[in-house]
């Protein structure tokens, strides 16, 4: 017998759970032990995984799942060595799965330790799988495919609406997507029960699925860039509803409007694209160009009034003259919702 090994990683929590379930089914697991680190580093969790994985079940395979192995290793050289040794020295007949759920914002930047673990797993003949949650406009296809897998009929327009309701159309990179597919799966099963054998329709989705689009600070500032007050208001409402600190929202708005003011002034003075990139693009020429284009949608007086209003809202909150949410809503109403585009 050989050791059974799996490393599954990515930002799709539901996909990782599916991979673990498929691995357990393939091994015909009779017993499964879940281990999660409590701190970082956590050598005790790694040691427990080593001891548990050496225990072969009497009535079938004994699968040990070590969650967040990179967190367990932390920045400790000793803990990292223990983790790699756990894979390299796994006994014959043992079964071990390493499950690393990573934040969506880090999906494109795998840590070096992840590569080392993957190499160790492959050297032992194990499997490495990445489960990434669908990005913008990909969730609809995932929903239709997953519906087919679980035997649920859904109309294409209903799948599109369901994807929109759970955040499939949001493209901002600061959105955490780790539970989107799990949410979509739950809503699909609920809708299937309601439809009772017939295809799920848009009316079904509209009646049963509430708007669960995740909040994004980038969605707020992007709406400001496009001068779309309604979109900015909706993004702010979602952010507040998810518990995003109002002062953090104010800080994001202040930073973006300050950039728009600088970009507008530089554009008026005939600054070069290189100077724009340095001053407002943080070295990113495409971002600088986009901010400069956005600045032209406002007059200088409008931007200065918006920034002054944010400073006043910030001061009124910190002086306990006004509650956080009403201060932000008042700024939004005065400087965006109640204004019309003007040329300066």
**What is the bridge-based pairing of β-strands 61-67 and 4-10?**
unpaired
Containing H/E element for 278?
Answer: helix 273-280
Domain range enclosing 66? 4-130
Same domain, 252 and 285: yes
**Residue 282: what pLDDT?**
65
Show which of 79, 96, 130 is a domain's final residue.
130
Residues 202, 184: Cα–Cα separation, whole Å = 15
Same domain, 145 and 78: no
Query: Which of the 8 DSSP states describes residue 104?
Result: G
pLDDT in tens, 159-195: 999 988 887 776 655 566 777 888 889 999 999 999 9
**Residue 342 within any structural domain of the chain:** no
**Residue 344: what pLDDT?**
45
Same domain, 148 and 93: no
Chain-centre distance for alpha carbon 186: 18
209, 194, 199, 204: which is closest to 152 by C-alpha? 199
CATH code, domain carrying 247: 1.20.272.10
**Residue 20 within any structural domain of the chain:** yes
Task: Quote the pTM value.
Answer: 0.64
Burial of 49 by CB count in 10 Å (0-12 exposed, 13-18 middle, 19+ buried)? buried
Parts of the chain with a pLDDT under 50: 1, 343-344
Angle among Cα 56, 60, 64 to the nearest 5 degrees reads 55
Q: Phi-psi region for residue 271, left (φ > 0), alpha (ψ -120 to 50) or beta?
A: beta
**Residue 39: what pLDDT?**
92
86, 72, 88: which is closest to 120 by C-alpha? 88
Q: Tally the domains of the chain.
A: 3
Chain-centre distance for alpha carbon 220: 16
**Residue 134: what pLDDT?**
87
Same domain, 291 and 321: yes
Residues 289, 197: Cα–Cα separation, whole Å = 52
Instruction: Look at the alpha carbons of 191, 230, 244, 12 in this order and tell me if their dihedral is positive or negative.
Output: positive
**Residue 144: what pLDDT?**
94
Same domain, 114 and 143: no
Same domain, 43 and 151: no
Same domain, 204 and 224: no
**Residue 81: what pLDDT?**
96
Q: What share of the chain is helix, strand, coil (3-state, %, to 5)?
A: 60, 10, 30
pLDDT in tens, 268-299: 888 887 887 777 766 677 778 888 888 899 99
CATH code, domain carrying 161: 1.10.8
């Amino acid at each position: 017998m050989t050791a059974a090994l799996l490393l599954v990683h990515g930002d799709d929590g539901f996909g990782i759970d599916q991979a673990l379930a498929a691995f357990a089914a393939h091994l015909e697991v009779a017993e499964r032990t879940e281990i999660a680190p409590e701190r970082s580093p956590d050598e005790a969790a790694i040691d427990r995984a080593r001891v548990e994985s050496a225990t072969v079940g009497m009535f079938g395979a004994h699968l040990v799942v070590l969650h967040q192995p990179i967190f367990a290793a932390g920045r400790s050289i000793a803990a990292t060595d223990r983790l790699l040794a756990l894979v390299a020295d796994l006994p014959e007949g043992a079964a071990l799965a390493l499950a690393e759920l990573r934040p969506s914002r880090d999906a494109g930047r795998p840590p070096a330790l992840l590569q080392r673990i993957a190499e160790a797993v492959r050297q032992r003949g194990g499997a490495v799988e990445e489960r990434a949650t669908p990005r913008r406009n990909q969730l609809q296809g995932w929903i239709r495919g997953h519906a087919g897998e679980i035997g649920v009929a859904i109309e294409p327009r209903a799948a599109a609406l369901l994807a929109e309701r759970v955040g499939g159309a949001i493209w901002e990179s600061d959105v955490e997507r780790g539970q989107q597919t799990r949410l979509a799966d739950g809503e699909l099963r609920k809708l299937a029960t309601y439809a009772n054998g017939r295809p799920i329709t848009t009316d079904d989705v509209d009646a049963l699925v509430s708007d669960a689009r995740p909040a994004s600070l980038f969605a707020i500032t992007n709406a400001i860039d496009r001068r779309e007050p309604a979109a900015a208001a909706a993004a702010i409402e979602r952010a507040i509803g998810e518990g995003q600190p109002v002062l953090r929202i104010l800080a994001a708005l202040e930073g973006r409007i300050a950039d728009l003011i600088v970009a507008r002034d530089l554009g008026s003075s005939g600054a070069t694209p290189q100077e724009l990139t340095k001053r407002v693009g943080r070295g990113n020429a495409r971002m600088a160009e986009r901010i400069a284009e956005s600045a032209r949608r406002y007059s200088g007086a409008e931007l200065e009034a918006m920034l002054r209003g944010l400073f006043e809202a910030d001061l009124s909150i910190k002086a306990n003259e006004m509650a956080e949410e009403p201060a932000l809503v008042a700024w939004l109403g005065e400087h965006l919702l109640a204004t019309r585009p003007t040329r300066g």
